[in-house]
Amino acid sequence: MNRKELPLNLDELEEYLTEELGDDIKEFRTEEIEKGLSKKYMKLIWMRVIKDSFRDAVKAIADIQTPHLSVASGSDKGDFVELIYHFMVNYGFAEQETAINLKVHLPKDDLAIPTITDIVPGAITTEREKQEFLGIDVKDIPDDRRMWLDENYPEDKYPWRWDEDGMEDMSRHVHEKEQTFEEPVSERVKKEEKDGE
Amino acid sequence: MVKGKATYEVPIGPIHPALKEPFMVNFKLEGEKIVDADPHPGMNHRGIEFMGMHRNPLKVIPLAERTCGICSIVHQHMYTTALEHAVDIVPTERSRYIRTIMMELERIHSHVLWAGVAAHEIGFDTHMHFTWKIREKVMDLLEAISGNRVNYSMWTFGGVRRDIEEDMHPQIKETLDYYKDLYDKLEDIFLGDPSIRHRTRDVGILTKKKALELCGVGPTVRGSGVKKDVRIDQPYSAYPDLELDYVIPSRYGYENKGDVFSKTLVRLKEIIQSIDLIEQCVKKMPEGEITSEPNKAALLNKLKTASGEGIGRLEAPRGEAMHYVRLTEDNEDVDCWKIRASTYNNLATYAPMFMGEQIADIPIIAACIDPCIGCMDRAEIVDIETGVKEEYTKDELHELSVQKTKDLLEGIDR
Amino acid sequence: MKLSKTFDKSLWVFHVNSGSCNACDIEIVSTVTPRYDVERFGIELVGTPRHADVLLFTGPVIKKTKERVLRIYEQTPDPKVVMVIGNCAGTTGVYYDSYAIEGPIDTLLPDDAHLIYVTGCPVRPENIINGVKEAWLYLEKLRGDQV
């Protein structure tokens, strides 16, 4: 890529990303939110790419500037799992930082996605988390050990899934627990009972 | 006995009172030298996101606040702004200024707290008690404004729940003046003292390249000269109207080395920056309502069928953090909620910082990303080849660190 | 062994975080630092449960720390007092329906454990000092008893 002068504004970013990825982009929208009394804007891009060109999209973003990967969020949407990688570019320039929210849909029967740790080494924590919490199979991940959950948890249960692989049945519901203490009985009731006998 | 170089494994932790990511760190050692560090978080995993996805959006605010007690404002701010973004609620102008004042006050309390922890880790308990004493002043102000010392419950959709009235301004001014007067003393202790300098200079170095690659955030990477600060890059609340600049060591005539000293410098300078920002806020604060959604029942009814997705970001005392929230029409509860706290990203920066350092430096390096206190609960040495176990308690590790300071002091020309 | 008179005047305290949000923990540290300063009463935070007379538990017990919490309780020598710090330690608080929560601490400890509840979310330092007073009163009663 011929490296452009930073920072890129929203139109330039849109032009660049559509040029690099073409028809692989399925959804694309930009957003500007007004902030403060002095009318400055927070800039966001929401885009979804097809699963096969996910790595190309990450590479394209990484070509702009060493990307800041905030986190990857994910959710169970029934037939598929949606992952959103929140990248930040244009940091270091006042009021220019743009969030690129890169979505990718993974069908339930093939929950695999290639790793991006070779492009963004800082992605390792969030990739490990996605494996553990959504049951995503991250291909070629350098470190696939469990991170957050207890070692005694079943290997095929994932907290953020809503289907039969979820953890609904494992929550404790402490507030619904049976009360074990005896009901306090007032002196009056005791006396009445005694009199009854 | 083992001949030649034996590699030892030292697990340190695990009980550590941090955010969502308390951790133990597994060290590989050759003699005194650390050759590998591998963090293991999860000892404090409470499943907050899971619980949030089973509750309605209003009930999630107190839950979000209880993600972390030290940065309670951080999480409630991100959650409310993310939801405001998702369903297009615009917070009132006055509330943005109140939010900013609260966030900067929290930054002061967090950085002063960190300075105390750092001093404790290298064996200066006098300084620790000194910083915790001066921290109480800002806690008093926070209590006067919000009614509680920790977990302020100030935020709501569209604004805040308590106003900062005119009669509170003298107390704010008095508190800020108190810190201005003491600041020189703080800087003298942490930047001028030769023994602290010996323990922090060239220790735990994070290069600029590594900092960028590993997506580190906050003072941890600003110490390496990386210009990342959400308050400037993507300003929120009242920050677009305020004047501020990136706090990096080179701005003050120091080298952007990325060692513990640089991180200390950045944190101390941010205290002064926060004081300045609060003064600007108090001066510029507009009149008006404090919340744009006073009717909670109507709001909840609206949120039940609302749909949309949004992100909320901010510069927490420990660095950038963000929340992602999505609501859908057919789900009354929050449909998707992701919390990302600052230490989550800084976790990966541990490995390069620990590499080649000594056991006695573990406490101060572990503390330098500000992961909150007390991670050195228990350390155990396992000799891989012989399987012999030795135990290091938190106290013994602390002793080692203190001893190193003493040794260094003997060599210093005072 | 008989408890001496000096025992309950110098309580040593060990702090266990069994999964709390950190708020109670910083308030505990506030309690031992200059403003509230319980150290003037001979109370000290120690680094190992084997030296402690009082255990402070903060936060709901999560599954991953359950074993560790029970081990710490067993390691503490008798007589001991357990202070349950904060609402979530006593009732699990806002974390009532999580998959990761084992339950409040009082459901896990043996029946003969002496518990002192310090409430608040988070607790206030004054309330912690009040809890320490309760611990004193309990240990004072034991003075002269066989343990």
The CATH number of whichever domain residue B17 belongs to comes to 3.30.390
> Which of B233, B239, B340 is opposite residue A36, by nearest beta carbon?
B239
What chain B residue is nearest to C69 in terms of C-alpha separation? B15
What's the domain range around B391?
7-44+345-410
C127 touches chain A (CB under 8 A): no
> Which of A149, A153, A174 is opposite residue C101, by nearest beta carbon?
A174
Count of CB pairs separated by less than 8 Å, A with C: 34
> Which of A159, A167, A173 is opposite residue C96, by nearest beta carbon?
A173
Question: Is B235 close to A95, i.e. CB distance below 8 A?
Answer: yes
Q: B211 and B299 in one domain? A: yes
What is the average pLDDT across A82-89? 90
Which residues of chain C make contact with A166, given a CB cutoff of 8 A?
none
Domain-terminating residue out of B319, B344, B369 = B344
Q: B370 and B234 in one domain? A: no
What pLDDT shows up at residue B100? 92
List the CATH number of the domain containing B230.
Answer: 1.10.645.10
Helix/strand/coil (H/E/C) assignment for every residue in chain B: CCCCCCEEEEEEECCCCCCCCCEEEEEEEECCEEEEEEEEECCCCCCHHHHHCCCCHHHHHHHHHCCCCCCHHHHHHHHHHHHHHHHCCCCCHHHHHHHHHHHHHHHHHHHHHHHHHHHHHCCCHHHHHHHHHHHHHHHHHHHHHHCCCCCCCCEECCEECCCCCHHHHHHHHHHHHHHHHHHHHHHHHHHHCHHHHHHHCCCCCCCHHHHHHCCCCCHHHHCCCCCCCHHHHCCCCCHHHCCCCCCCHHHHCCCCCCCHHHHHHHHHHHHHHHHHHHHHHHHHCCCCCCECCCCHHHHHHHHHHCCEEEEEEEEECCEEEEEEEEEECCEEEEEEEEEECHHHHHHHHHHHHHCCCEHHHHHHHHHHCCCCCCCCCEEEEEECCCCCEEEEEHHHHHHHHHHHHHHHHHCCCC
Residue C53 lies in a domain: yes
Residue B26 lies in a domain: yes
List the CATH number of the domain containing C94.
Answer: 3.40.50.12280
Which residues of chain B make contact with C126, given a CB cutoff of 8 A?
none
The predicted model scores a pTM of 0.87
CA distances from C39 to B112, C9, C31, C132 (A): 21, 11, 9, 12
Q: B81 and B110 in one domain? A: yes
What pLDDT shows up at residue A10? 84
Residue B66 lies in a domain: yes
For residues A59 and A144, the answer to whether their CB atoms sit within 8 Å is no
> Which of A149, A150, A172 is opposite residue C97, by nearest beta carbon?
A172
Residue B1 lies in a domain: no
Q: B256 and B140 in one domain? A: yes
For residues B248 and B256, the answer to whether their CB atoms sit within 8 Å is yes
For residues A101 and A61, the answer to whether their CB atoms sit within 8 Å is no
Question: Is C99 close to B374, i.e. CB distance below 8 A?
Answer: no
What pLDDT shows up at residue C2? 60
Give the distance from residue C97's alpha carbon to the nearest chain B alpha carbon, in angstroms.
6
What pLDDT shows up at residue A65? 83
Domains defined for chain A, CATH in brackets = 10-196 (3.30.460.80)
Q: B230 and B104 in one domain? A: yes
What is the tally of structural domains in chain B? 2
Residue C2 lies in a domain: no
Q: B390 and B281 in one domain? A: no
Which residues of chain A make contact with C98, given a CB cutoff of 8 A?
171-172
What pLDDT shows up at residue B98? 92
Residue B115 lies in a domain: yes
C68 touches chain B (CB under 8 A): yes
Domain-terminating residue out of B306, B328, B344 = B344
Q: How confident is the model at residue B117 (pLDDT cuts 50, 70, 90)?
A: confident
Residue C147 lies in a domain: no
Helix (H, G, I), strand (E, B) or coil at A197: coil
What distance in Å separates the CA atoms of residue B240 and residue A95, rounded to the nearest whole number? 8
Q: B122 and B208 in one domain? A: yes
What is the tally of structural domains in chain C? 1
Helix (H, G, I), strand (E, B) or coil at C126: helix
What is the average pLDDT across B232-254? 89
Q: B210 and B79 in one domain? A: yes
What pLDDT shows up at residue B125? 83
What pLDDT shows up at residue B1? 43
What's the domain range around C83?
7-141
What is the average pLDDT across B242-268? 89
Q: B182 and B105 in one domain? A: yes
Residue B2 lies in a domain: no
- What is the token pair recorded at B77? 């701010």
Which residues in chain C land under pLDDT 50?
A: none
Give the distance from residue C90's alpha carbon to the nearest chain B alpha carbon, in angstroms.
16
Residue B27 lies in a domain: yes
> Which of B42, B48, B150 is opposite residue C23, by nearest beta carbon?
B150
Q: B39 and B177 in one domain? A: no
Lowest model confidence (mean pLDDT) among A164-173, B112-121, B123-132, B261-270: A164-173
- What is the token pair recorded at A80? 């598929």
Bigger pLDDT: B40 vs A120: A120
Residue C59 lies in a domain: yes
Q: B118 and B173 in one domain? A: yes
Q: B200 and B301 in one domain? A: yes
A159 touches chain B (CB under 8 A): yes
Residue C79 lies in a domain: yes
Bigger pLDDT: B309 vs B403: B309
Which residues of chain B make contact with A67, given a CB cutoff of 8 A?
215
pLDDT tens per residue, range B60-110: 888 888 888 787 888 889 999 999 999 988 899 899 999 999 999 999 998
Domain-terminating residue out of B314, B344, B374 = B344
Residue C112 lies in a domain: yes
What is the average pLDDT across B9-32? 59
CA dihedral over C109, C112, C114, C117, signed as positive or negative: positive
- What is the token pair recorded at B242? 């305020």
